[in-house]
């Protein structure tokens, strides 16, 4: 502030904020334009300098690569520190004729399961767990289209007990699962007998997978691999607090399944609890490639 006699005057400095972005751009461009080894007044001179640097890098990489054909990372580690980045070395290897022949093409992720209607196909399997007051097993069911899951704890692996658990799941008003068109299960005896009678009474076709062919139950096996570690973490946490062995997993079993239902799934890019409400679940990745793309390399499909 400045004083003039008894009057008080305020000095106001106006700052043009619209120029801040321009100043930031000038700083970035200056860092790109002015190099430690000089600066380039024209784009042609900058291009010539880049080509010269590439030739120098080629002279260093060529004898090393064509002697033992190391991979990009091993080749990069043998260079003087700071001479080139790993990405630059990888691009150089891929630009070589030998590198082009042996480089891996980009991996395309296919959705090998194309059933998009909820409650069309379910998978079910039994997971063994620690003995929690007589309950040593858990029945897990998953809808293959929406990835919605549910399950029940079991005391014994009998077809009668499993049938009661199935009926409790599908008749539960809080569960989104309905009786499916097809149920895929393993060859275990507890999945036969009364279980077969129960599902046939509701018009569901049961498919038993081949013995040892676990890929056919990939969805429910994936659920096991996600569910089991979470349940064991809960038991281990209680053990650390109480300083004694803990086998209580039943209380948190269904809560954990509901938590997984509220987590986004990669292949459908949605939460299962939201996807199950749709008539058709969209796939994030493209469907299975055409039959011709699945043929071995070098074999062409005969035209009619």
How many structural domains comprise the chain?
A: 2
Q: What pLDDT does residue 16 have?
A: 60
Residue 197 in domain: yes
Name the strands in the sheet holding 205-208, side by side, starting at the edge strand that comes first in the sequence: 149-154, 135-143, 121-132, 182-185, 205-208
Q: What pLDDT does residue 94 have?
A: 77
Contact 162, 190 (CB under 8 A): yes
Is the whole model's pTM more than 0.85, yes or no?
no
Give the Cα separation of 17 and 297 in Å (integer). 61
184 with 228, same domain? yes
Please give the DSSP secondary-structure letter assigned to residue 265: B
Give the Cα separation of 72 and 102 in Å (integer). 12
Exposure letters 56-94 (e unless 16+ CB within 10 A, then b)? ebeeebeeebeeeeeebeebbeebeeeebeeebbbebbe
Give the Cα separation of 224 and 158 in Å (integer). 20
Domain ranges, residue 80: 34-102
The proportion of the chain whose per-residue pLDDT surpasses 90, expressed as a percent, equals: 38
Range with the poorest average pLDDT among 35-39, 225-229, 260-264: 35-39
166 with 193, same domain? yes
- What average pLDDT does the segment 229-239 reach? 88
91 with 229, same domain? no
- What average pLDDT does the segment 101-106 reach? 59
Looking at 53, 71, 102, the residue that finishes a domain is 102
SS3 195: helix
Q: Residue 99: pLDDT above 80?
A: no
Contact 193, 162 (CB under 8 A): no
Taking only the tens place, the pLDDT of each residue in 19-64 is 555 655 565 555 555 544 555 566 777 667 777 777 777 777 777 7
Contact 189, 126 (CB under 8 A): no
166 with 211, same domain? yes
CB neighbours of residue 123 within 10 Å = 25
Residue 289 in domain: no
144 with 75, same domain? no
Taking only the tens place, the pLDDT of each residue in 264-280 is 888 888 899 999 999 88
Tokens for 145, please give them. 């289209």
């Amino acid at each position: 502030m400045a004083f003039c006699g008894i009057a008080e005057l305020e000095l106001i400095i106006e700052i043009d904020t619209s120029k801040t972005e321009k100043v930031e751009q000038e700083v970035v461009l200056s860092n790109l334009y002015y190099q430690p080894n000089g600066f380039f007044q024209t784009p042609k001179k900058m291009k010539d300098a880049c080509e010269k640097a590439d030739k120098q890098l080629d002279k260093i990489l060529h004898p090393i690569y064509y002697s033992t054909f190391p991979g990009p990372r091993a080749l990069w580690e043998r260079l003087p520190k700071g001479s080139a980045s790993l990405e630059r070395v990888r691009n150089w290897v891929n630009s070589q004729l030998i590198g082009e022949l042996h480089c891996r093409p980009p991996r395309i992720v296919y959705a090998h399961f194309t059933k998009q209607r909820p409650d069309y196909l379910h998978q079910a399997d039994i997971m063994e767990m620690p003995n929690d007051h007589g309950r040593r097993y858990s029945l897990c069911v998953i809808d293959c289209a929406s990835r919605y899951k549910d399950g029940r704890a079991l005391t014994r692996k009998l077809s009668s007990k499993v049938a009661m658990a199935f009926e409790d799941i599908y008749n539960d008003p809080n569960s989104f699962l309905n009786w499916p068109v097809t149920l895929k299960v393993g060859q275990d005896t507890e999945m036969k007998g009364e279980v077969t009678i129960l599902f046939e009474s509701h018009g569901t076709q049961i498919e038993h997978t081949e013995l040892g062919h676990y890929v056919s139950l990939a969805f429910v096996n994936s659920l096991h691999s996600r569910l089991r570690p979470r349940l064991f973490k809960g038991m281990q946490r209680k053990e650390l607090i109480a300083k004694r062995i803990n086998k209580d997993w039943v209380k948190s079993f269904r809560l954990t399944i509901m938590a997984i239902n509220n987590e986004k799934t990669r292949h459908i890019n949605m939460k299962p609890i939201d996807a199950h409400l749709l008539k058709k679940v969209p796939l994030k990745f493209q469907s299975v490639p055409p039959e011709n793309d699945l043929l071995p390399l070098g074999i062409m499909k005969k035209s009619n």
